[in-house]
Structure 1
Amino acid sequence: MKIAVVAANGKVARKVITEAIKRGHDVTAFGRHKENNTDASKYVIKDILDLKKEDLEGFDVVVDAFGTWASEAMHLHTVTSQHLADLLEHTNTRLLIVGGAGSLYTNKEHTETVASGPDFPHDWLPVANAMADSLNALRKRNDVHWTYLSPAANFVADGEATGKYAFAGEELTLNKNNESTISYADYASAMLDVIENGQHDKERISVYAD
């Protein structure tokens, strides 16, 4: 498939790109910095908000890996994902979002989330809430083929690629060790699985180390 990855120099994005290339896909990386720190041979220097419809024409999938911890930029989680959705509306190109875990539900009634729990770190609330807002905005759209992939609660940047992971739905799911964890490497593999199987249209799903 032809896959575009935006915000391509981020840590998760780089692993998604590497995995996609390893699986034989045609990958184009989009980043706002001059340096291409990815394994993609095709690199386009362009900020997400400067992208136009023609930039994304011909791609089967666009992976949105935008993320920020800057307090003044939290709104951009929604602004950037909605901009990409606008560019892809009424097309067959799928939009895959590198999501957050804070919005995963912790009860059957779906009234409580990981971020609303008493033990959730206060410093993480702004980004968790911002990413939840972006998900809620996507839920309102029926004009674009989006899928939002939440990682487990413990998202381990330098964790190894084990290949042992499982998918779940909207609720926080624990493994046999009563843990919710996954490495960036396994998350990237899971993202490619979702891309390749073509399922979960207009859905949020999650993945955790099995």
Structure 2
Amino acid sequence: MVSDNGSGARPYGGVDAADRQASRRARLLEAGLDLLGADVPKIAEVTVRGICQQAGLTARYFYENFADKDEFISAVFDGVIGDLAAGTQSAMQSAPPGQQIRTAMATIVRTVAGDARIGRLLFGAHLSNAVVVRKRVESSALMAILSGQHAGSVLRIPDSDRIRCVGHFVVGGVAQAISAWLNGEVRSAPDRLVEQLTALLEKLGDPSLYRD
């Protein structure tokens, strides 16, 4: 018998073992986004069996990719936030001068508006799973650092506590505003939300805010 995950595994249906494993992993991660990003997520009740049922795979293939449920949830979150960050950065780099902030906000808002699962996973107030909470804190800290670095680069000022403070303010404020928008506490069309967030963030471009 030839193992499906060994380097010597023969192609099956024209697809080699590595590609089959990658396909199964992608199906599991998509199932995780379905479960975590559901209208009323019941993550406390989610089991390996439930994840596999959602993905249409057996537990064997779950453990082929993940040690346990916490590692799986981390992978789902990391994949989503990684894709959003990469897409936002790419859009900003392609934006004309003076349009980077608007482009970043438009990318984020349109992404979460286009796939409600992503919005609920990253910004949903009702999702209190311990792993997701931890991953949100970790990603927010990283985004704050990157935001501060970007601001310092644009304004051509050295790193400082003021820059870092604004970085955390930006990330926390945008996340809270989007969360309120997703929950219906803020009722705006996506384009209107982008305009308002852009206007607020552009106010932070005043160099006097960073002088001691």
TM-score (norm 2): 0.30
Which structure dedicates a bigger proportion of its chain to strand? 1
Report the TM-score when normalising by structure 1.
0.30
Q: Which has the higher contact order (CA 8 A, sep 6+)?
A: 1
Q: If each structure's helix is expressed as a fraction of its own residues, which one has the higher value?
A: 2
